[in-house]
Structure 1
Amino acid sequence: MDNGASSYRRFLEGARNSFTELVTEYWDGLTLYLNSFAENTAEAEELAEETFLKLYTDRPVFSGKSSFKTWLFAVGRNTAYNIIRKRRRINTSSLDDFYDISDKEDIEKNHISAENKKQLHRIMEKLNCDYRQVLYLVYFENFSNTETAEIMRKNERQIRNLIYRAKAALKILLEKEGFEYEEL
């Protein structure tokens, strides 16, 4: 699949099963990204549902000026802003239940890794919204600075500055919490 564009094109041409491919491919990443707006996994899932519903019903045009994933995350961002603006409230809760990862090969190592992820996400929740978003997009979703700038509606210089400040703020919070990290 060429970054979802072909599946979306097939969906627009009438192949309903290709929409299922899109949801399967992008659900988790989009939901985690939208969690930076909602700060609540259940609400982030609602925002992801609304984003896919918007694609299904409104069928917005994908111009191809960016990757499909970048375009989808931008649609998700706009959808989240519109919905949150209407609600005028944001519920917060921990992501503890979201990260329940286990592996048969090395349970102890994976348990420690999962605990570190939980702690990292709890600490990241203390960062301001822009810092959380930029760190998530660049380091968890592997978007380039250009793609991140497009999603967040900022220029590349602003993104570089945000990354620098977000990493510095995260490092301070991690050190306060006694979190051991390899390199940030």
Structure 2
Amino acid sequence: MDNGESSYRRFLAGDDNGMVELVHEFRDGLMLYLRSYTDDISSAEDCVQDTFIKLAVKKPGFNGKSSFKTWLYTIGRNIAVDHQRRFKRNRDVSLDDYGSVSDEADIEQSYLITEQKINLRHAMRRLKEEYQQVLYLTYFEDFSNEDTARITGRSRKQIENLLYNARKALRAELVKEGFSYENL
């Protein structure tokens, strides 16, 4: 598969299986990325659904200036940012509207297979949001610095600086947890 572009083009041509392939391919990774914006797995799930609904209903054109995955994650980020704006305006929501914390652990454990990755993810949560986002996109989703810059709306140089500082902060968090420096 060419990073989702052919599946999306097939969907636009009338093959609904193209959208099914996109959802299966990108749902989990997009959800974990958007969780860093929403800070709540249930809201991240809503944003992921809204992202795929936008693709299915509005059928925005993919121009090929970036990879399909970069384009999709940018749409998801914009939806999550809009979601957070609405959330801040409507803070008077009952606690029943939020998903349980155990849902988040189950989803992450199924996606992050090894214990090292789980420990890494926990350490990342203690970092600043911008550090979490740049580390996740770069190392978990294998985006280049240029693609990460497009997704986050920053320059490539800003991403390089953020990555440097994020790795330094992550190393300090992992050392606090007892990981030896040689393993980093």
2:106 is the counterpart of 1:97: yes
How far does residue 123 in structure 1 lie from its aligned partner after superposition?
Answer: 1.8
Deviations 1:14-43 (A, max 9, x none): 222211111111111111111111222222
Aligned positions of 1:50-65 closer than 5 A = 50-65=50-65
Residue number in structure 1 paired with 2:137: 137
Partners of 2:74 and 2:152 within 8 A in 1? yes
Distance in 2 separating the partners of 1:100 and 1:155: 32
Partners of 1:11 and 1:18 within 8 A in 2? yes
Change in CA separation of 1:139 and 1:19 when aligned onto 2, cut-off 3 Å: same
TM-score with structure 2 length normalisation? 0.84
Partners of 2:138 and 2:144 within 8 A in 1? yes
Change in CA separation of 1:181 and 1:54 when aligned onto 2, cut-off 3 Å: farther
2:79 is the counterpart of 1:79: yes
Residue number in structure 2 paired with 1:117: 117
How far does residue 117 in structure 1 lie from its aligned partner after superposition?
Answer: 2.8
Distance in 2 separating the partners of 1:99 and 1:18: 26
How far does residue 183 in structure 1 lie from its aligned partner after superposition?
Answer: 4.5
TM-score with structure 1 length normalisation? 0.84
Distance in 2 separating the partners of 1:181 and 1:40: 31
Paired residue type of 2:152? M
- Structure 1 unpaired stretches of 5+: 102-109
Paired residue type of 2:72? L
Deviations 1:117-176 (A, max 9, x none): 333222211111110000000011111111111111111100000000001111112222
Change in CA separation of 1:17 and 1:96 when aligned onto 2, cut-off 3 Å: closer
Aligned identity (percent) is 49
Residue number in structure 1 paired with 2:95: none
Higher helix share: 2
Residue number in structure 1 paired with 2:37: 37
Partners of 2:149 and 2:155 within 8 A in 1? yes
Change in CA separation of 1:120 and 1:7 when aligned onto 2, cut-off 3 Å: same
Change in CA separation of 1:87 and 1:140 when aligned onto 2, cut-off 3 Å: same
Partners of 2:124 and 2:170 within 8 A in 1? yes
Change in CA separation of 1:145 and 1:7 when aligned onto 2, cut-off 3 Å: same
